[in-house]
Amino acid sequence: MKALKPATAIMLLETRTLHHAGTTEKSAESSCSLADKIEELVLKIGYSNVQALSVVIQLLTVGKIRVDFRDYSQRLQLASKSDIMTRAHAAEIFDTHLTQMKVEAQSNNGFTQKITFQSPRIHLPK
């Protein structure tokens, strides 16, 4: 069995389409690594979000995907069709990269985040 490539070695082609004021504006095609795209998705939709995993699995098993956000959409495709793989391998690459991201984030001790959850106020009728 051949070894899996790391997310940093899988290259993608990306085209963004901006949606504003009823018009669309398409950007030039650019390239990035799957690692860069995973990190971008994690920042936008979170570590534990199933949607980030779904995007990566679709991309790695089919070879292309379109992702729509509020004000833009992006079309992603594998730069090389030889990077298409099984669902299990795609999930393994995603999980491995997330684990590496968490280790790197923990090693940066200079930043502490504080999150406060507040219960919603309930107004009872008088």
Per the structure, how many domains does the chain have?
A: 1
pTM of the model: 0.73
Asked whether residue 76 is domain-assigned, the answer is yes
What are the residues whose beta carbons fall under 8 Å from the beta carbon of 48, sequence distance 6 or more? Answer: none
Q: Residue 37: which domain range? A: 12-94
Confirm whether 81 is domain-assigned: yes
**Tens digit of pLDDT for each residue in 66-113?**
988 778 889 999 999 999 999 999 999 999 998 888 766 555 555 555
- The answer to whether position 79 is within a domain reads yes
Query: Is 101 part of a structural domain of the chain?
Result: no
In angstroms, rounded to a whole number, what is the distance separating the alpha carbons of residues 104 and 8?
A: 15
pLDDT beyond 80 at 21: no
